[in-house]
Amino acid sequence: MLHLILWWWFFSIIPGGASKLPEYRKPLEIVNTPDNEVFAMFSTPLKRSLTLSGTFGELRPNHFHAGLDIRSLNRKVGEPVYSAGSGYISRIKISAYGYGRAIYIQHPNGHSTVYGHLDHFTPEIDNYINQEHYKRERFELDLSLAPSTFKVSQGQLIAYMGSSGSSTGPHLHFEIRNSMNEHVLNPLEYGIPLSDNIPPTIYSIKFYGNISGNDVSLMTLPVKIDVNGSFSLNNDTISLNTSIAGVAIKTYDKAFNSSQRLGVYGITLKADDAMLFNFNMKDFSFDEMRYSNAHRDYEEQVKSSQTYHRLYRLAGNKLPIYNESKDEGWINLSNDKIKKINIDVIDFAGNKSSIQFFLKQASGPPPAIPYSDKLITYNQTFSLEENGLRINIPANRLYCNTYFNYLSLPDNEYYSPIYKINDLTTPLHRSYSLAIRANNLPSYLRKKASIGMINGGTISNQGGKWNEDWLETKVTSFGNYTIIVDTIAPTIKPIMFKNDMSKRDYMSFKIADNFSTGGEADELTYNAWVDGKWILMELDSKTDNITHYFDNHIPPGNHTLSIKVTDDKGNSKLFTQSFVR
């Protein structure tokens, strides 16, 4: 405890530190909770009330949302962002993907805060980053900083809100992490204020049967809401053709001044007033993120883009968020007794919505399930080699036992058959090895060959390395795979560029390739030079545009610009043109 107090005292007396904060800024408090856990009360990273477009723990593609998404005040970039606590900037990351421009601040209480999708930093930080770009001659950076480089006090301006990285609109992504284990923590648990008196909304309930160890979808029923805000089903007694039933729920939260559908904080399931299943979104680790595909009904997500929380646990789901999980949430209907089911959905502010109904077992046999003579046991390795296809799926890549099927479809367009491997609606926790034997591939094309994934009318390059006559890679989903060849160079298209650039603030180009990438394939790489000297081109992954903002690196006068773009298979495009600055 002493070292925490000393850290706090040190950062309170530095110039501009916490002792000089305005009265309305709440100071960073070190609090002893009843169980002696030390945690921090942070201030808001914006000097105003907050409106959210994303909550902690929301179900996002292949992950849980790790923080709060705070909406821009007027849907524009440039709003000031402030440090939520005293400490120092420990990391700065610049990327075209993910959090885009991001700052990580280490605090003396053992926590760190993250500020993502920033537009730009304060001038001092911007100058530092610009020097690193040119020193390393690269746009993407991941810098670890010494404690003395950028000390910050609580409430100090550090950056400006933006839409960089994978953001779809101006907002601030804000996280709090435990610095020791890198667990992400719900910021609302740590003093970030949010006005919310609106309970969650329940939209529909989905029912399943546990049949021969497989969870089988049985029916989906809409939920109605009356004038008093109560939720119910049209028929409160549901008959299911199964002796063991599971339930999933489609539900979202809403907060004050926001029309956005937000993730809920917690859900409980009771059968005859006994707790069967209970979870809340307080914290989790990045290693556990992909278990979100076991928590949700992944098949429903793929087919209809609808998000359902399972209120039962698949065998391979290792998430620690479940506080109680009697019988893994499965409901026993085998004794012909009608079961009373209660589901409560809560948000962080404690607003609650509830629904009650009754379940009973219907007469008649359970529905048939798809069958194959090949079964993948979720916690055992599965291997197959036949018909020019070789697969190795390590243990614990699936969340439940799954029948394996594939089809070999002859095709003259590619250099192997198209292999239809299981189905895209079956989630995988991590990658597995996939190898295909080439048919009639000329030796001079081997270095241009990759395994391609065909999804609808698009093909993505999944990478690949040769092992004798087998082309091997690792992929993270089932689907349709074949061998493709790429001999086509990327393209470079001027967006803002002409001979006379003397009155322009920037120049930009769109770069593109004939295949997207996934698996072990590399993204496009690019570099740009003016008069033979490297210049910074910032990549926007949403538009595939690269942009150079003119500064003192290019003086007035005549110049020659060169841009080179290279794809995963070594195909390159060179653009060269003179211009006047």
Q: Above 60 in pLDDT, residue 15? A: no
Strand ranges in 12-140 using DSSP code E only, listed in sequence order: 29-32, 38-41, 52-54, 59-60, 63-64, 68-71, 80-82, 87-94, 101-106, 111-121
Q: For position 323, what pLDDT does the model report? A: 85
Q: Above 80 in pLDDT, residue 97? A: yes
Range among 71-80, 452-461, 558-567 with highest mean pLDDT value: 558-567
- Separation CA 96–CA 495 (nearest Å): 18
Report in angstroms the alpha-carbon separations of 337 from 237, 329, 334, 340, 533: 12, 18, 8, 10, 79
Q: For position 258, what pLDDT does the model report? A: 67
Quick one: tokens of 168?
């779809």
pTM for this model (two decimals): 0.90
Quick one: tokens of 41?
């009360």
Confidence band of 195 (pLDDT split at 50, 70, 90): confident
Length of the chain: 581
Residue 457 CB burial class (10 angstroms; 0-12, 13-18, ≥19): exposed
Average pLDDT of span 175-180: 95
In the DSSP assignment, the letter for residue 513 is -
Confidence band of 212 (pLDDT split at 50, 70, 90): confident
- Separation CA 465–CA 445 (nearest Å): 13
For 125-171, what is each residue's pLDDT tens digit?
999 999 999 999 999 999 999 999 999 999 999 999 999 999 999 99
- Separation CA 254–CA 557 (nearest Å): 56
Which of 58-67, 317-326, 378-387 comes out lowest in average pLDDT? 317-326
Average pLDDT of span 365-382: 88
Contacts of 35 (CB under 8 A, 6+ apart): none
φ and ψ of 326, to 5 deg: -70, 130
Nearest to 266 by CA among 343, 187, 189: 343
For 306-328, what is each residue's pLDDT tens digit?
999 999 999 999 999 998 768 89
Q: For position 367, what pLDDT does the model report? A: 83
Instruction: List the helix and strand counts (H, then E) for the chain.
Output: 4, 50
Quick one: tokens of 417?
């058959």
Q: How many CA atoms lie within 13 A of 519 on its CB side?
A: 28
* Residue 439 and residue 449 in contact, taking contact as beta carbons nearer than 8 Å: no
Q: For position 257, what pLDDT does the model report? A: 63
Confidence band of 191 (pLDDT split at 50, 70, 90): confident
Quick one: tokens of 252?
């979202």
For 240-268, what is each residue's pLDDT tens digit?
999 999 999 999 998 766 678 999 999 99
Average pLDDT of span 454-477: 95
Q: For position 516, what pLDDT does the model report? A: 95
β-strand 382-386 against 506-512: which pairing, if any? unpaired
**Residue 468 zone, left/alpha/beta (φ > 0; ψ -120 to 50; rest):** left
Average pLDDT of span 41-52: 91
φ and ψ of 88, to 5 deg: -145, 155
Q: For position 215, what pLDDT does the model report? A: 87
Nearest to 521 by CA among 475, 468, 469, 455: 475
Q: For position 413, what pLDDT does the model report? A: 87
Q: Above 60 in pLDDT, residue 21? A: no
- Separation CA 427–CA 400 (nearest Å): 10
Q: For position 164, what pLDDT does the model report? A: 97
For 493-533, what is each residue's pLDDT tens digit?
999 999 999 999 999 999 999 999 999 999 999 999 999 99
Q: For position 10, what pLDDT does the model report? A: 37
pLDDT > 90: percent of the chain: 81
Contacts of 489 (CB under 8 A, 6+ apart): 567, 571, 572, 573
The kind and range of the H/E element at 299 are: helix 298-304
Radius of gyration from C-alpha coordinates of the chain: 27
Q: Above 90 in pLDDT, residue 370? A: no
Q: Above 60 in pLDDT, residue 16? A: no
Confidence band of 456 (pLDDT split at 50, 70, 90): confident
Q: Above 90 in pLDDT, residue 113? A: yes
Q: For position 1, what pLDDT does the model report? A: 40
Contacts of 471 (CB under 8 A, 6+ apart): 435, 436, 437, 438, 449, 450, 451, 464, 465, 483
For 435-454, what is each residue's pLDDT tens digit?
999 978 999 999 999 999 99
Contacts of 233 (CB under 8 A, 6+ apart): 205, 221, 222, 223, 224, 355, 357
Average pLDDT of span 448-475: 95
Q: Above 80 in pLDDT, residue 37? A: no
Contacts of 501 (CB under 8 A, 6+ apart): 507, 550, 579, 580, 581
* Residue 453 and residue 475 in contact, taking contact as beta carbons nearer than 8 Å: yes
Report in angstroms the alpha-carbon separations of 356 from 233, 340, 452: 8, 7, 48
Q: Looking at this protein, which amino acid is placed at residue 241?
A: N
Confidence band of 411 (pLDDT split at 50, 70, 90): confident
β-strand 506-512 against 465-467: which pairing, if any? unpaired
- Separation CA 130–CA 548 (nearest Å): 12
